[in-house]
Structure 1
Amino acid sequence: MGDRANAHPGAAGRAPTADHPAFLRNVVLVGHSGSGKTTLVEALALAAGAVTRAGRVEDGATVSDYDEIEHRQQRSVQLSLVPVEWGGFKINLLDTPGYADFVGELRAGLRAADAALFVVSAADGVDGSTRMVWDECAAVGMPRAIVITHLEAARADFDAMTAICAEAFGGDDPDAVLPLYLPVHGAPGSDGHAPVTGLIGLLSQRVFDYESGERKETQPDAAQLPLIEEARNRLIEGIIAESEDETLMDRYLGGGEIDFSSLVADLERAVARGTFHPVLAAAPAAEGARQGIGTVELLELVTGGFPSPLERVAPELTTPEGKPRPAPACAVDGPLVAEVIKTSSDPYVGRISLVRVFSGTLRPDETVHVSGHGMADRGHQDHDVDERVGSLSSPFGKQQRPLTRCVAGDLACVAKLSRAETGDTLSAKDDPLLMSPWDMPDPLLPLAIEAHSKADEDKLSQGLARLVAEDPTMRLEQNPATHQLVLWCLGEAHKEVALERLRGRYGVQVDVVPHKVSLRETFGAKAAGRGRHVKQSGGHGQFAICEIDVEPLPPGSGIEFVDKVVGGSVPRQFIPSVEKGVRSQAAKGVAAGHPLVDVRVTLVDGKAHSVDSSDAAFQTAGALALREAAAEARIDLLEPVAEVQVLVADDYVGPVMSDLSGRRGRVVGTEQAGGGRTLVRAEVPEIEIGRYALDLRSLSHGTGRFGRRYVRHEAMPPQLADKMREQAEEGR
């Protein structure tokens, strides 16, 4: 691995193919925004011969040419697949966005991959979000390696960054994170910085020189040998510690020679098991060069050290009725089990589904069963339908290269699955199956929108349906209390992308309006009201008078109507009319236009006319009586309160609790969550946490997570309630 020459690079212009899962590698690239993931993918594609010059395919497009939004915003916003071939292996490189708003795309990449490359910038270091993803991979035993980029930056130090990675990722065993190579530096430039020109293989003690643009292998000179001795010994000890051969350590400590092939074999097994995490360095190719520094070594690591899909245990399976089924083996001739990893739309082809096949073989034009879990709270309905598979293709930038089949362990794009959504399972139509869903973050930033015009209103529903089908981290809500259409997102960038896709991809112009929380009103004390509706303008008149008492009830009681009329002052047939009028007015509100709740309205007296009284008249009188009672009483404005659970690193517990208190929150408890993190539980008014998803990210440097659930409505402070009433009055 890494020190072995490889004489079989892929051919440019040819779609990589693999006929057996043993020759497939699915690798996801993880790292913060700007760490160099996309540049590294392009460098690997160039080194493998998949492109003719850095990042370019035959028509001049780049391998990262996926979305116009990405070009405008100069950052990745979605998962991208770049398949390359190296040494007879097909490698599916899954490039993920590094920005926290697009963590749903990252999780999709983790689901599709069998191993991960963590890309760390020597200029920026390791951020909290990357550490959290590392822990997630560790929890499921996913093999991982680390690639250090941006070594050309001023003050970049490979040794120092390796030590930081060992501390951040090594946990209790920093010797599980060690370099396989050391960088070779050339002559310092005018700025005093010595560029990296090659690598020294610690196991083989060979120098791999990239200065000419092609990888050349030489012997280290005398000055280089002392530099690598300590690192080499530590690496060998780390490999032997992970070896299944318990005699190796005794032989090594006794001065015995461990042959190179045994070390490489043990290293590969330790990497594949996820117990050893090699550190490598990489830099893009210079202008006109074919191979960037470390690209060949990375490709050899992926093919030699990372596991094939045969070693991946498929996610749990059930029938659509919920009966457990054993996970199938990754076999080309096994039962079909595949999953939609990502959904996108093409203006010419329509819906395109990126699919990972876990078992069996997927072929064009066959009929499959599509099973969806359904996430009604996010706009995804449960479904079980048969669909005909369209064409299969392998993506490469904006190109789609045709495939005749997609075997177990591989990934492919499937056209024209009109009902399939991200997370859905594809299986044989006569044996439908459902795969357990992967964990998706809850979108907690509200975006209230309205159609810009009548023409946009007609297209809005379809555009939003397609948007949430593509991105399950979005949640669509038609709020029955505020009557707003709300698209819940993960952050500002996520929100901007959603709006731009509605405009650019679906041709829908929308207006963003202030998000409203569902406020309510109630009486703060007892009150009485008299409703008089008397009109005479010739012909049949209107006459109804009713008197009511109103008293507050405990929270959650709703509206209670009581009839205490005596003597028939209000005829029995009109008492339901009074109740209907009272309830109608309560729904509209009596002070600031919010629904009235938790009161008992008692009808105590009234008057009627034998000719002019009617159902409509008493409805009006009931509403007038309630409004008069409200005018004479103190009306409390009730706001929704949410239980907020914040998971945050111990270092940020104090600032988080202080911030929650500043939002009128009440901290109700804290508890240790393990891994140096604390769970803070608090009750906070929802009006104060509309942008908490953004504020917590800033406060915790991207490491904090929170969830929320509605618990009750409670009275708003009088000063704030008065301000809300003034705003409502101005709005009217």
Structure 2
Amino acid sequence: MAAEALPRAAASARRPSVAAASASRLLLGHRPFLAPSASRFAAGRAAVAGPAASLRPRPRRPRLSVVAMAGNDRQVPLEDYRNIGIMAHIDAGKTTTTERILYYTGRNYKIGEVHEGTATMDWMEQEQERGITITSAATTAVWDKHRINIIDTPGHVDFTLEVERALRVLDGAICLFDSVAGVEPQSETVWRQADKYGVPRICFVNKMDRLGANFFRTRDMIVANLGAKPLVIQLPIGSEDNFQGVVDLIRMKAIVWTGEELGAQFSYQDIPADLEELAQDYRLQMIETIVELDDEAMEGYLEGKEPDEATVKRLIRKGTIGASFVPILCGSAFKNKGVQPLLDAVVDYLPSPLDLPPMKGTDPDDPELILERRPSDDEPFSGLAFKIMTDPYVGSLTFVRIYSGKLIAGSYVLNSNKDKKERIGRLLEMHANSKEDITVAVTGDIVALAGLKDTITGETLCDPDNLVVLERMEFPDPVIKVAIEPKTKADADKMANGLIKLAQEDPSFHFSRDEETNQTVIEGMGELHLDIIVDRLKREFKVEANVGAPQVNYRESISKIAEIQYVHKKQSGGSGQFADIIVRFEPMEAGSGYEFKSEIKGGAVPKEYVPGVMKGIEESLPNGVLAGYPVVDLRAVLVDGSYHDVDSSVLAFQIAARGAFREGLRKAGPRLLEPIMKVEVITPEEHLGDVIGDLNSRRGQVNSFGDKPGGLKWLMLSCHLPRCSSMSAL
């Protein structure tokens, strides 16, 4: 079959030349180059726009700096930006795919491999040794004149925070699936995280070369497990050892890789005869799905006129951005097949910053006033700090997504969450752990800032004269803790410094001092998470420490209503302390948290003393009466009380509230709450009895089981398992 000329020959027909790679680096470094033409996707843009709230000038605040800069500092049009993340279950091939992307775009001169410990994006020693991604890493590449900012995320559940904060600042995502395992538990987690932030995504069914690979089973699992509507735009040509390439349902051509030049060489050919009918069926499904998004296209289709290639791509892009469906592609990143069409799909179907609604925030002086920041270099600067990293040579690096305006090295910005100015010491573009100084960053960029002293993850940086507070990020609570002790006195100071820096980097990691045992306690998302923390203390901060056995973070609550009267009276000469309160404690539904109400009538307790009662109870919540665990799902109602004209004070009522809390909870049937995990176990049918027996021995409660989607001879069990029973087991 005769090969056709490739549509993007300069980018994908062969391994990039040195000159091409140099041109890519010029694009990445914001150095002058010939500006590309206007985006060919302008007509298909699905941008959501609306009138922005006026940004009021702040003459009362001292002018810190002019953040915006005259002139045109943009080298790549904003419509040609793609800010994407790569997310999946552990070992689905995220980093392997990213390494191919960096190679085919000319960013790297060779392909790094995870199993060899040479992957560019897995730069930490622990990542190279364990063969897993631990921390999200950022890089930038250029494909078809489009600037693609990429964040490679971990797949292990212990590092789910890395996925959460990456998705918070990204415009699109690639969700990878192992074609053998299909949709796995962490696949569901990251999918829900993407849903939470409304991130448009495309699917890539990876590892089509592996034994047991099944593209269609994976597609069915995406429907059944994720509730998504996949739009098949490629079909695999063969599978397992016979996987050769893909059928492009848009051009109705086969893309076949020859296996030469590490996958950089491929050709367009006629569709194999045994796939022609199947390809026609899936193309028909694709066309019928996308024309529903456009009245003109639908009218033409009903008249027998099939949309042309440009219209098909425009409608797929519209549906992807609008979450009408999710395009699904396939390939084998490890075998260097399917990555270039995946890059084309990123450019063709995922949104630029202009395709999404303006970023919303609030006025720091009036939280009820909603402000908007449009993605434009002419808007006032605004950005969100989403990650902190400690560099041994530069110090603290703050990763920032720029939503509007420009940022210049050496300028001042304002942390609007804390009302503190920050100076941008250095402005850096990151390539994993490599750094390149740049002088200016523009809307859509993801950069690292050196020199910030007060900014932490989730805080907003903005123009000092146009304030805005962007929506903060939510961080999961730790689920496991261990005690840690320095081996020597010299290690103690180093350990304290190391824990502080690690907690700044990772908001899901906490540490505290247990006053009763005089031990330092570290808390995290799992055993692996804490294992990495301890290992980093040893390697990066030279701390030798003893670590205790893992302990589960229990919670306490109450089981019945109890009312308690507590009188705090103290005389020590002169004015004393007096507070008399009656508080009713009520249990609430699981997950309700804490609530305080006041039913005081007639001034039995003056209004100015009620906040003291509320504060006293809130201060007591972290330490329950059974075992000192945090108290949850509780309502405290201030019913009645009395006061003394001279001796009563806010402090006296605060102390009384603490006493009422202790005595009231003892009467209210305190109970210990154990963390429960929802677990899915996939097992061959012949091992079902052994698996259920093991779960029962761990106090697991099996809720259901049935055949795994896709027709394999495997069973999938769904059960609830106490967290402490699963330590070192799952």
Fold-level similarity (TM above 0.5): yes
Partners of 1:559 and 1:488 in 2: how far apart? Answer: 37
Residue of structure 1 in register with 2:402 after alignment:
357
Contact 1:122–1:157 (CA<8 Å) still a contact in 2? yes
Structure-2 change in CA distance of 1:250 and 1:24 (3 Å): closer
Partners of 1:113 and 1:308 in 2: how far apart? Answer: 10
Partners of 2:97 and 2:167 in 1: how far apart? Answer: 18
SS in 2 for 1:330: coil
What stretches of structure 1 of length at least 5 have no aligned partner? 187-192, 287-291, 373-382, 520-553, 564-571, 574-592, 595-635, 666-677, 681-687, 699-732
Partners of 1:510 and 1:385 in 2: how far apart? Answer: 37
Residue of structure 1 in register with 2:288 after alignment:
237
Give the partner amino acid of 2:214.
D
Partners of 1:70 and 1:199 in 2: how far apart? Answer: 32
SS in 1 for 2:306: coil
Residue of structure 2 in register with 1:303 after alignment:
347
Partners of 2:425 and 2:450 in 1: how far apart? Answer: 5
2:494 is equivalent to residue 459 of structure 1: yes
Partners of 1:194 and 1:73 in 2: how far apart? Answer: 27
Partners of 1:515 and 1:168 in 2: how far apart? Answer: 32
SS in 1 for 2:188: helix
2:177 is equivalent to residue 126 of structure 1: no
Contact 2:210–2:241 (CA<8 Å) still a contact in 1? no
- In the TM superposition, residue 639 of structure 1 has moved relative to its aligned partner by 12
Q: Choose from 143, 150, 175 the match for 1:93.
A: 150
Contact 1:518–1:639 (CA<8 Å) still a contact in 2? no
Residue of structure 1 in register with 2:595 after alignment:
none
Q: CA RMSD in A?
A: 4.1
Structure-2 change in CA distance of 1:360 and 1:116 (3 Å): same
Residue of structure 1 in register with 2:539 after alignment:
504
Partners of 2:553 and 2:563 in 1: how far apart? Answer: 15
Residue of structure 2 in register with 1:209 after alignment:
256
List per-residue Cα deviations over 1:110-153 (Å, max 9, x = no partner). Answer: 01211111100012211133223323423443211110111111
Partners of 2:289 and 2:234 in 1: how far apart? Answer: 14
- In the TM superposition, residue 224 of structure 1 has moved relative to its aligned partner by 3.6
SS in 2 for 1:110: helix
Partners of 1:39 and 1:516 in 2: how far apart? Answer: 35
List per-residue Cα deviations over 1:417-454 (Å, max 9, x = no partner). Answer: 23322222211234443322122111121122222211
Residue of structure 2 in register with 1:5 after alignment:
7
Partners of 1:421 and 1:83 in 2: how far apart? Answer: 24
- In the TM superposition, residue 63 of structure 1 has moved relative to its aligned partner by 2.1
Partners of 2:185 and 2:698 in 1: how far apart? Answer: 25
Partners of 1:397 and 1:141 in 2: how far apart? Answer: 26
Partners of 1:559 and 1:513 in 2: how far apart? Answer: 42
Structure-2 change in CA distance of 1:484 and 1:445 (3 Å): same
Partners of 2:678 and 2:378 in 1: how far apart? Answer: 46
Partners of 1:696 and 1:559 in 2: how far apart? Answer: 48
Residue of structure 2 in register with 1:177 after alignment:
230
Residue of structure 2 in register with 1:261 after alignment:
310
Partners of 1:402 and 1:511 in 2: how far apart? Answer: 40
- In the TM superposition, residue 80 of structure 1 has moved relative to its aligned partner by 1.0
Q: Choose from 139, 144, 147 the match for 1:82.
A: 139
- In the TM superposition, residue 371 of structure 1 has moved relative to its aligned partner by 4.3
Residue of structure 2 in register with 1:281 after alignment:
330
- In the TM superposition, residue 260 of structure 1 has moved relative to its aligned partner by 2.7
Q: Choose from 368, 371, 396 the match for 2:413.
A: 368
Give the partner amino acid of 2:165.
A
SS in 2 for 1:123: coil
Structure-2 change in CA distance of 1:639 and 1:490 (3 Å): farther
Residue of structure 2 in register with 1:427 after alignment:
462
Contact 2:428–2:438 (CA<8 Å) still a contact in 1? yes
2:391 is equivalent to residue 334 of structure 1: no
Partners of 2:511 and 2:344 in 1: how far apart? Answer: 45
Residue of structure 1 in register with 2:689 after alignment:
none
Structure-2 change in CA distance of 1:510 and 1:164 (3 Å): same
- In the TM superposition, residue 556 of structure 1 has moved relative to its aligned partner by 8.5
Partners of 1:690 and 1:646 in 2: how far apart? Answer: 5
Give the partner amino acid of 1:369.
L
Contact 1:446–1:690 (CA<8 Å) still a contact in 2? no
TM-score (norm 1): 0.66
Residue of structure 2 in register with 1:441 after alignment:
476
Residue of structure 1 in register with 2:606 after alignment:
none
- In the TM superposition, residue 412 of structure 1 has moved relative to its aligned partner by 0.9
Structure-2 change in CA distance of 1:4 and 1:433 (3 Å): farther
List per-residue Cα deviations over 1:349-374 (Å, max 9, x = no partner). Answer: 111111111111111111122245xx
- In the TM superposition, residue 297 of structure 1 has moved relative to its aligned partner by 1.0
Residue of structure 1 in register with 2:645 after alignment:
none
List per-residue Cα deviations over 1:362-402 (Å, max 9, x = no partner). Answer: 11111122245xxxxxxxxxx44222112222222332122
